[in-house]
Amino acid sequence: MATRNTANSDTRTEIQAGTKVKGKVQGSEDLWVAGRVEGSVELDGALTVAPGGVVKAEVRAVRVTVAGTVVGDVTASELIELTAQARVQGDLRAPTVRVDDGAKLNGLLEVGDVSRVEVAPRPAAPKTTQPQARPEPPEAHHKTTVTGFVPNAVQDDRRRKRVVVKKRG
């Protein structure tokens, strides 16, 4: 007993395939998800959604790497990476976003100066699709709408636009 996670040098939380977490996840270390997380994730660390992993949550973290499925808005204070297997439905905000060829994204993408972004907790606001409900971006903000947020269309895979912002380099 009391086996430490020696495989990784630093402490890392791992939600294995077959594990389901429902509720609020908070912490200041890296979180790796091959299972399922529903609710909210607030991390002062990196979130990795492994292939097969599903995160249905509002996510705030320093870095977010998606190779699985994410449904929900994601805010990263440093970087969001979508690998070729990534399936994302929700709005992404980060100073740097990398999208690999093959990744699928439905939602608003905000890349650039997100200095207002903090990893600190915020009051949970109900998600709304009304554009005026979003906070006004700063002037230097580079805002890109990748696919219009058409709630009825996102279920239809064939109508999904394939988003290729930047090839793997």
Site of interaction with other proteins (CB under 8 A): 1-5, 7, 11-16, 18-29, 31, 35, 39
Comparison of 28 and 144: residue with beta carbon closer to other proteins: 28
Shortest Cβ distance from residue 75 to other proteins (Å)?
A: 19
Q: What is the DSSP letter of 149?
A: -
Residue 131 carries which DSSP code? G
CB of 74 to other proteins, least distance (A): 18
**Distance in Å, CB of 117 to other proteins, minimum:** 21
Q: Tell me how far apart the alpha carbons of residues 68 and 15 are, in angstroms, rounded to a whole number.
A: 13
Residue placing its CB nearer to other proteins in the complex, 22 or 168: 22
Q: What is the rounded distance in angstroms from the CA atom of residue 99 to the CA atom of residue 166?
A: 6
In sequence order, what are the residues at sequence separation of 6 or more whose Cβ sits closer than 8 angstroms to the Cβ of residue 113?
95, 138, 140, 141, 142
4 vs 158 by CB, closer to other proteins: 4
Minimum CB separation of residue 40 from other proteins in Å reads 9
Based on its alpha-carbon atoms, the radius of gyration of the chain, rounded to whole angstroms, reads 16
